[in-house]
């Protein structure tokens, strides 16, 4: 089942949405976006926990 993530689901004013066939591929997209759009070269534990909680199964 595909996975989705939206930056807005963790409180960011950002229209980014990621979709991938598995969580590993989704996380790669999220990390690349975070680095490029939000200047987050590393993602702290608190933010990573929010990201993981916001990942959804695509309906």
Q: Which domain holds residue 39?
A: 3-57
How confident is the model at residue 53, as a pLDDT? 98
CA pair distance 42, 59, nearest whole angstrom: 30
Residue 59: pLDDT band (50, 70, 90) is confident
The CA-CA-CA angle for residues 45, 15, 17, to 5°, reads 65
> What is the tens place of the pLDDT at every residue in 6-19?
999 999 999 999 99
Count the domains in the chain.
1
How confident is the model at residue 10, as a pLDDT? 97
Residues 18 and 33 sit within 8 Å (Cβ to Cβ) = yes
The CA-CA-CA angle for residues 17, 10, 40, to 5°, reads 80
The CA-CA-CA angle for residues 44, 19, 13, to 5°, reads 55
> What is the tens place of the pLDDT at every residue in 19-54?
999 999 999 999 999 999 999 999 999 999 999 999
């Amino acid at each position: 089942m595909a996975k989705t993530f939206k930056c807005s689901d963790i409180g960011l004013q950002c229209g980014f949405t990621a979709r991938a066939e598995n969580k590993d591929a989704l996380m790669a997209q999220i990390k690349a976006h975070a680095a490029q759009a939000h200047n987050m070269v590393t993602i702290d534990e608190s933010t990573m926990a929010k990201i993981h909680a916001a990942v959804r199964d695509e309906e």
